[in-house]
Chains A and B, each alone.
Chain A
């Protein structure tokens, strides 16, 4: 199988994923869904990084992906903990109801 998948395909896929993530972030009200949409956007970015790294034959992009993954993992740990804490105190995950800091 010699025919390579063109870079454009990866980019389109990444763009689609990113747009889905943005749309979900803006529309959804459930905190976990929003959290997932952020992860989706991060991974869309990762995909572009890898695609370009492959295209230019450079490792910098791939290394960056690892960084993003590490950050995402840390974020997941902290974020989920916060979400659980919020749910325990407020018994809801609807972001419209979590507005204690708003005057």
Chain B
């Protein structure tokens, strides 16, 4: 029975973490990677099997394994339970499939890094918690995974912990996520108070059987959950940690900060769709946050120079799309985009990693260019990713993005048309900045310094190294010579992901384009209770029209990028000079970090230092200790005189004492008798 093996899915990566985390330091690198790969490959196999079982005719829609009660107190019982439905299945597929590919890639990418065993131990730990998160049957277990992936993310962002910027980025990610987690916690408290349970089935059933229940406490719970999701999925106002998270190694950015962990917020909203459907207000908030984040991050992404930061802002922007989809009730479209995004964004990150690898740690696009011929495999695979994210048919991104835009357009949300327009503009901007990256990296003159001399190469690693800092230059390893294509262990995962980026969208070809929209039918059992907007129009005219518009917009973005960065390089700089204030504003990410720093971080620090540190800690805590010490010293300085070291004074005291006892015994007794 397949459900007996369900436990293995998260536990095997955990075993890998334990092995590599404890004895990995002593093991040879091949063994470390073998352990890490094996313990992610087996769960991927189980998931594939699970997929076959659940796709079969007459298969149950939900598989569930329940343990003994995990927490049992009066009025609240929580089981350690896993559940698999079609939504979980998609998430499992993404996490184990893309996760495994990224593990394979990492073997090549991290080959020359210190702390190889540590890296794979953390990666496996991440897999464990992420799988717990998607398999969880209750809010609490989901929260365990939620916090766990945050921990793994923190550890991996700060992987190069000797670098201040990486350590700080890790802390920032963790602290910003704490704000979201706070919302999540409050939401759970409210759920326990309202429903007396944290089980998904129980809670959602309690809502479903009560059709008149709208708004009120449900809105409060939903909004708090949105806060949690905004933290994890890097939405306004908590998106600031994700761009900084690029300090981590590139495979980490691909796995955690693009494909899987950051989509946990979207998964959670989709999972709680029953709750969100009852609160139009909360859904509206989700939609507005999503649209705002999408266009805002796209704006910033257009002017970044660091190749990974462009991708980071693009991730924030694409997550905004998914939020937007959930916000207009099109959960299927959101999950669909999550799926395709996992493919093409993982691909883009890994390809960017391959570029960085080729250039020995260079991340600045201004120092790239002309790489098309030098690293052809990376070029072609990345091209697939760029076309996919830009929303050009028939690449995967087109179908999912178009579905979201269409759903926004036809939604009952009064702002639907505006949301659609924002999404459309964002699509154009996405296309522009992705092709900007493409042209700047692979076309035009070669702007990088080609180091054929090993020594100079080593020096370059030290000067240019940003997050790829600890690259070891081995004299006997000719690998480090100049610009080079990555080894097969890195390019094969790239090729697979490129393939998925092309065909991944075909599972969701809408009926308007002659498809079956299989993913929608696949997810129907999960979302059927939701009030997903189902445009029951018989004519596909509007849908086709909208699709045509979005393709045109994407092509327009491509054209502008072509004009600016290929045909007439320097146009962009000229335009930037025409509006220096605006350019500086965007270039500096709208000074959001500075504003947060001034409004929140600095006051909090001052409060901590002056009030908590100075008054509470310095005054009360230290003071009470000092007073206790002084009292003891004062008293002992009195008592100390008795212990003079003079034997005869002791004997005198002894005699006095004996005399006193004697007096009490003789005369005292008669007094007590009365």
A interface, CB within 8 angstroms of B = 22, 25-26, 95, 99, 101-103
Q: Are A25 and B645 in contact (CB under 8 A)?
A: no
Q: How far is the CA of A26 from the CA of B651 in the complex (A)?
A: 7
User: What's the nearest-Cβ distance from chain B to residue A38, in Å?
Assistant: 10
B interface, CB within 8 angstroms of A = 645-648, 651-652, 655
Q: Are B647 and A26 in contact (CB under 8 A)?
A: no
Determine which residue in B648, B652, B655 has the highest number of CB atoms from chain A within 10 A of its CB, and name it: B648
Q: How far is the CA of A101 from the CA of B647 in the complex (A)?
A: 12
Q: How far is the CA of A99 from the CA of B645 in the complex (A)?
A: 8
12 extra interface residue pairs, beta carbon distance < 8 Å, beyond A22-B655, A99-B645: A22-B651, A25-B648, A26-B648, A26-B651, A26-B652, A95-B647, A95-B648, A99-B646, A101-B645, A102-B645, A102-B646, A103-B645
Least CB separation from B658: chain A residue: A22
Top 10 nearest A-B pairs (CB, nearest first) are A102-B645, A22-B655, A26-B652, A26-B648, A25-B651, A26-B651, A26-B655, A99-B645, A95-B647, A95-B648
Q: Which residues of A contact B655 (CB under 8 A)?
A: 22, 26
User: What's the nearest-Cβ distance from chain B to residue A34, in Å?
Assistant: 8
User: What's the nearest-Cβ distance from chain A to residue B662, in Å?
Assistant: 10
Q: How far is the CA of A99 from the CA of B655 in the complex (A)?
A: 22
Q: List 12 A-B contacts (CB under 8 A).
A: A22-B651, A22-B655, A25-B651, A26-B648, A26-B651, A26-B652, A95-B647, A95-B648, A101-B645, A102-B645, A102-B646, A103-B645
Q: How far is the CA of A95 from the CA of B649 in the complex (A)?
A: 12
Least CB separation from A25: chain B residue: B651
Least CB separation from B645: chain A residue: A102
Q: Which residues of A contact B647 (CB under 8 A)?
A: 95
Least CB separation from A103: chain B residue: B645
Q: Which residues of B contact A26 (CB under 8 A)?
A: 648, 651-652, 655
Q: Which residues of B contact A25 (CB under 8 A)?
A: 648, 651
Determine which residue in A22, A95, A102 has the highest number of CB atoms from chain B within 10 A of its CB, and name it: A22
Least CB separation from B647: chain A residue: A95
User: What's the nearest-Cβ distance from chain B to residue A60, in Å?
Assistant: 22
Q: Which residues of B contact A99 (CB under 8 A)?
A: 645-646
Q: How far is the CA of A25 from the CA of B648 in the complex (A)?
A: 7
User: What's the nearest-Cβ distance from chain A to residue B528, in Å?
Assistant: 89
Q: Which residues of B contact A22 (CB under 8 A)?
A: 651, 655
Q: Which residues of B contact A101 (CB under 8 A)?
A: 645
Q: How far is the CA of A46 from the CA of B591 in the complex (A)?
A: 97
Least CB separation from A28: chain B residue: B648
Least CB separation from A101: chain B residue: B645
Q: How far is the CA of A101 from the CA of B646 in the complex (A)?
A: 10
Q: Which residues of B contact A103 (CB under 8 A)?
A: 645
Q: How far is the CA of A99 from the CA of B646 in the complex (A)?
A: 8
Least CB separation from B659: chain A residue: A22
Least CB separation from A27: chain B residue: B648
Least CB separation from A22: chain B residue: B655
User: What's the nearest-Cβ distance from chain B to residue A79, in Å?
Assistant: 14
Q: How far is the CA of A101 from the CA of B645 in the complex (A)?
A: 9
Q: How far is the CA of A99 from the CA of B649 in the complex (A)?
A: 14
Q: How far is the CA of A95 from the CA of B646 in the complex (A)?
A: 9
Q: How far is the CA of A26 from the CA of B647 in the complex (A)?
A: 9
User: What's the nearest-Cβ distance from chain B to residue A42, in Å?
Assistant: 14
User: What's the nearest-Cβ distance from chain B to residue A24, in Å?
Assistant: 11
Q: Which residues of A contact B648 (CB under 8 A)?
A: 25-26, 95
User: What's the nearest-Cβ distance from chain A to residue B127, in Å?
Assistant: 66
Q: How far is the CA of A22 from the CA of B658 in the complex (A)?
A: 11
Q: How far is the CA of A101 from the CA of B643 in the complex (A)?
A: 13
Q: How far is the CA of A95 from the CA of B648 in the complex (A)?
A: 9
Q: How far is the CA of A95 from the CA of B652 in the complex (A)?
A: 15
Q: Which residues of B contact A95 (CB under 8 A)?
A: 647-648
Q: How far is the CA of A95 from the CA of B650 in the complex (A)?
A: 14
Q: How far is the CA of A26 from the CA of B649 in the complex (A)?
A: 8
Least CB separation from A99: chain B residue: B645
Q: How far is the CA of A103 from the CA of B651 in the complex (A)?
A: 20
User: What's the nearest-Cβ distance from chain A to residue B649, in Å?
Assistant: 9
User: What's the nearest-Cβ distance from chain B to residue A82, in Å?
Assistant: 14
Q: Which residues of B contact A102 (CB under 8 A)?
A: 645-646
Q: How far is the CA of A22 from the CA of B655 in the complex (A)?
A: 8
User: What's the nearest-Cβ distance from chain B to residue A93, in Å?
Assistant: 14
Q: How far is the CA of A25 from the CA of B646 in the complex (A)?
A: 13
Q: How far is the CA of A26 from the CA of B652 in the complex (A)?
A: 6
User: What's the nearest-Cβ distance from chain A to residue B519, in Å?
Assistant: 87
User: What's the nearest-Cβ distance from chain A to residue B648, in Å?
Assistant: 6
User: What's the nearest-Cβ distance from chain B to residue A26, in Å?
Assistant: 5
Least CB separation from B655: chain A residue: A22
Q: How far is the CA of A25 from the CA of B652 in the complex (A)?
A: 9
Q: How far is the CA of A25 from the CA of B651 in the complex (A)?
A: 8
User: What's the nearest-Cβ distance from chain A to residue B577, in Å?
Assistant: 83
User: What's the nearest-Cβ distance from chain A to residue B666, in Å?
Assistant: 12
User: What's the nearest-Cβ distance from chain A to residue B636, in Å?
Assistant: 16
Q: How far is the CA of A102 from the CA of B647 in the complex (A)?
A: 11
Q: Which residues of A contact B651 (CB under 8 A)?
A: 22, 25-26
